[in-house]
Amino acid sequence: MNYKALAASFLTVMTLNTFAGAVEPPVAKKIPYRLEKHGQVRVDDYYWLKDRKNPEVLAYLKAENAYADAALKPLEPLQQKLFAEMKARVKQDDSTVPFRYGGYYYYKTYKTGGEYPVYARKKGSLDAKEEVLLDVNELAKGKTFCQVNFPAIRPDHRMIAYAMDTGGRRFYDIYFKDLVTGKMYGDKIEKTSGNMAWANDNRTLFYVRQDTGTLRWDRVQAHELGRLRDAEVYFEPDETFEVGLSKANTDKYIFIRTGATLSTEYRLIDADNPAAPPAVFQARLPGLEYDVADGGDRFYVLNNDKARNFKLSVCPSTSTAISSWKELVPRRDDVLIEYMDVFSDWVVLKERSKAQGSFHVINRTVGRDSYITFDEPAYMADLGDNYEYKTSALRVTYESLTTPDSVYDVDLWTGNKKLMKRQEVLGGFKQENYQAGRLWFPARDGELVPVDIVYRKGLDLKSGKNPVYLYSYGSYGYSTDPYFSSSRLSLLDRGFICAIPHIRGGSEMGRRWYEDGRQLKKKNTFYDFIDATRYLIAQGYTSPAHIYAEGGSAGGLLMGAIANMAPELYKGIIADVPFVDVATTMLDPDIPLTTGEYDEWGNPGVKEYYDYILSYSPYDNVEKKAYPSMFITTGLNDSQVQYWEPAKWAAKLRALKTDKNLLILKTDMDTGHGGKSGRFEAMKLSALEYAFMLHLEGIDR
């Protein structure tokens, strides 16, 4: 097949005024395809792009890539400069703070020039000799993509199991390494999810497989070292549920969590008796969500039984049904309990109130309560690596829009924080040069919505001409916390204000915030983002000629929606791996992630949900009108949002838009949802997207 000739057939000439030079954007052919539901017929001219085996599909994607390279070629000097800046801020020979687990200190380190981590440990003391567990740089040689997470340590610490994905579609092969001899064990488990846990017999590894078509994590299997056939421990037949594995801090149990968006069920495996069948903790009930932690003689249960924002209950280890759950921390309307961790003397709850996180610490012996908080107006804090059950030191991570990633050890008796490490940012970074703050604005329905902003001090905030970069996600209840980014400094140092609107669909303001941004209230997510943009304009921070927006995955859906609803507000939009063909995808149960998503988006098999989804689905609402300049990315191997969604969207936009603004579709032919796997390779796309915005802003330095 002559792909160059085939790709050339997609090209038509169009001179672009925004970027220098006349280049030829590809135009996908139209093959009308009828989609009928609830008596309504939609015609999809680009449905044919779903067929990845069709050589014309690959040719079209390659033609789009060729066009992107040609159209963006004038940006190469700026992209290279930005990449050099971003890379220069990274301390290349760096390590994480070691965490203690079973007499060893484990950590990962990066070597100068290395794209991938080296996983290592020291025995007994930080002064001991380093023992390398895995050098991912060696594993990645000759591969365009390589993802290896921290290995699963066998309980006797004499072997590891590690999972490696070399295709980007999140299928992991599991390998075993003998840490005594340094040799690879002969066993290999292919095409798993990478989620795994060791039993205490030092022979049995539990792991999760996914369906090869829908990619749903649907079964747990047990691999016994040296045996050819693996036993199936549990299969989840309900296509709206997925399974996952974890191990208790006490090491007594392996938990099988089966969850849908709004329902949960746990099964327990005795880690000392891995052949025993798993026992149901509490059978699933509609609307009941719960998580379980072992506390030795009792279980702690985080649950939403008559508690929208969740409450903490406790039950005996011998009686785990909901009828035995006794309330320990009651529900609160203004406080969301996000998750918990349990230790021999302590229970720690991650809580959130008014878009701010904190840690609620409960002493299990005397019942004393205390809180771990931080002083900045907006920040991101989470529990770190806490593997020791018997401890009074809690590891937490902390960062903000101006404070680099920091690791603290907190004395749970006194509350004293000890800073163990703060990410070193090279290149002359000074935290005091930047200012962050939190604003509140009224959305169109009167709801007060927070938005965090950061900028370089000395900026005239009321000039009305400041370039502004907005980023949000707004789905699945995931909160977009104000995180630190050394790459973001390249925008701040060029006069940008960066903002994170905490839109509905996340959980920043509690569970209600999530519920008001899903299913038949999904448009609140889009309205909040648009209203945040208008607020910044009204307050004099900026104007539409200087506003840029970015979102990825479900945040890419957000980008598609605002592009249709309020294109006049944005100079440029970046949509990374965007979920934009919502109606068609949610009607196809064979596409990954569809059946488990009904509680998030609604089941379009029901006409009410179908009509609502269709009213905002970005692909279905593209019109003949002017759109901002747009930069769209996807990965051919994407397991979450299939490549054809952004490809179809770009093709339809190109056919209908009335402007001459730049439209870029860039497909990574080697990766999936997360993009490049190397730490520096991933920066190249960020540098290109930043160059895209800066060039539109007239900043080429």
Active site residues: 553, 638, 673
Of the candidates 326, 373, 328, 330, the residue with the CA atom closest to the CA atom of residue 352:
373
Q: Are strands 369-372 and 468-471 parallel, antiparallel or unpaired?
A: unpaired
| Rounded Cα gap, residues 481 and 499, in angstroms | 11
Crossing angle for the helix pair 76-88 and 681-696, nearest 10 degrees?
130
SS (HEC) of 261-275: CCEEEEEEEECCCCC
CA-to-CA separations, 682 to 147, 666, 674, 685, in angstroms, rounded: 13, 14, 9, 6
* Cα–Cα dist 565/522, whole Å: 14
What Cα–Cα distance (Å) separates residue 538 from each residue in 209, 239, 267? 51, 47, 53
Polymer length in residues for the chain: 701
Plot region of 565 (φ>0 → left; ψ -120 to 50 → alpha; else → beta)? alpha
SS (H, E, C) 124-176: CCCCCCCEEEEEHHHHCCCCCCCEECCCEECCCCCEEEEEEECCCCCCEEEEE
- Six token digits for residue 453: 């902003």
Query: Residue 142, Cβ neighbours under 10 Å: how many?
Result: 7
What's at 192, amino acid-wise? Answer: T
What token pair was written down for 134?
């895995």
Helix (H, G, I), strand (E, B) or coil at 65: helix
Residue 536 neighbours by CB under 8 Å, 6+ apart: 451, 468, 470, 497, 499, 542, 547
φ, ψ of residue 420 in degrees (nearest 5):
-90, -35
d(CA 430, CA 588): 51
Q: Write down the number of H helices and E strands in the chain.
A: 13, 42
DSSP H or E stretch at residue 492: helix 489-492
Upper half-sphere CA count for residue 491 (Cβ side, 13 Å): 30
Torsion angle defined by CA atoms of residues 600, 606, 611 and 615, in that order, rounded to the nearest 10 degrees: 20
